Amino acid sequence: MGPTWEEVQQLIAYTAGNGAAEIRNHAILLLLAVYGLRRGEVARLRLDDVDWAGELLYVERPKQCCRQHYPLVASVGHTIVRYLQEVRPVCRHRTLFLALHAPHRPLSPESITAIVHSRLAGAGITPPRRGAHCLRHACARHLLESGFSLKQIGDQLGHRNASTTLHYAKVDLAALRAVAELSLGGVL
């Protein structure tokens, strides 16, 4: 459903620029890919959701009716700081990500999907699905390939039910093929 982790790294490198939109979009893409956040969760992030002293990121999980915290990954934190210092318009809104041109308003979840779609296309990456959710799938697959349990992946993604996490943990057909091709040395 999502790009490979190598493609995610290409996407992140592709979006690391110096223009206002590039700086903002880079921060958004990192939050989606590194934490596996939903587009709505990123759209709802507020300035107060980043605890700089405690190095924590707080995320409202509406499906679970809870607030979850994550360690603030240094690269993500630096990218958010750059966005705040160089790009984010000064206005009354407490939402983290805003439209860059007046009227300055919070980005909608649909805007975040459009950002991901256009950045994937610009980078020449064509996963089966190209919205923001594909980065959530990529995050889950990367965690699975890194040896994390389904429970740990589910906790990271904010799932209450293990069966939901299974949807993100697709079978690695290449690895299964390698197992199937093993010579069992006369066992059968």
61, pLDDT greater than 90? no
What range does the domain containing 103 cover? 5-177
Which pLDDT value is given to residue 99? 95
Is residue 20 scored above 60 in pLDDT?
yes
First to last CA, the chain: 36
Distances in Å between the alpha carbon of 145 and those of 5, 142, 170?
10, 5, 11
Does a structural domain hold residue 25?
A: yes
Query: Is the previous residue joined to 103 through a cis bond, with omega within 30 degrees of 0?
Result: yes
Angle between helix axes 109-123 and 5-14 (nearest 10 degrees) is 100
Average pLDDT over the chain, rounded to an integer: 87
Please identify which of the residues 24, 26, 38, 130 carries the catalytic annotation.
38
pLDDT at 22 over 60: yes
* pLDDT for 63: 74
Q: Assess whether 170 carries a catalytic annotation.
A: no
Mark whether 78 is an active-site residue. Answer: no
pLDDT for res 184: 46
Q: Which of 46, 105, 168, 177 is catalytic?
A: 168
Q: How confident is the model at residue 170 (pLDDT cuts 50, 70, 90)?
A: low
Contact 39, 29 (CB under 8 A): no
Q: Is residue 188 a part of any domain in this protein?
A: no
136 noted as active-site residue:
yes
Q: Which of 131, 91, 125 is nearest to 110 (CA)?
A: 131
Question: Which residue in the list 88, 119, 136, 137 is annotated as catalytic?
Answer: 136
- Per mean pLDDT, which range of 75-84, 144-153, 161-170 is the poorest? 161-170
Q: For position 61, which CATH number holds?
A: 1.10.443.10
Residue 159 designated active-site: yes
Mean pLDDT for 145-167 is 80
Residue 184, in any domain of the structure: no
58 is catalytic: no
Mean pLDDT of 138-166: 83
Ordered alpha helix ranges (H), the chain? 5-14, 20-35, 39-44, 74-86, 109-123, 133-145, 150-157, 162-168, 173-180
According to the model, what pLDDT value does residue 187 have? 44
Question: Token pair for residue 176?
Answer: 């299964």
Is 32 among the domain residues?
yes
**Which is catalytic among the residues 70, 159, 167, 170?**
159
- 144 assigned to some structural domain: yes
Structural domain contains residue 66: yes
What CA–CA distance (Å, rounded) separates 88 from 113?
A: 19
Assess whether pLDDT exceeds 60 at residue 172. no
Task: Please state, for a pLDDT cut of 90, what percent of the chain lies above it.
Answer: 64
Q: Residue 142 catalytic?
A: no
Angle of CA points 161, 68, 54, to nearest 5°:
150
Whether residue 45 is predicted with pLDDT greater than 70 in this model: the reply is: yes
Tell me: the pLDDT tens digits for 96-133? 999 999 999 999 999 999 999 999 999 999 887 778 99
Q: Dihedral sign, CA of 123, 124, 127, 131?
A: positive
> Bridge partners of 46?
95
Type of residue at 172: D
Q: How many domains does the chain have?
A: 1
Report the C-alpha gap between 166 and 137 in whole angstroms.
11
Does 183 fall in a domain? Answer: no
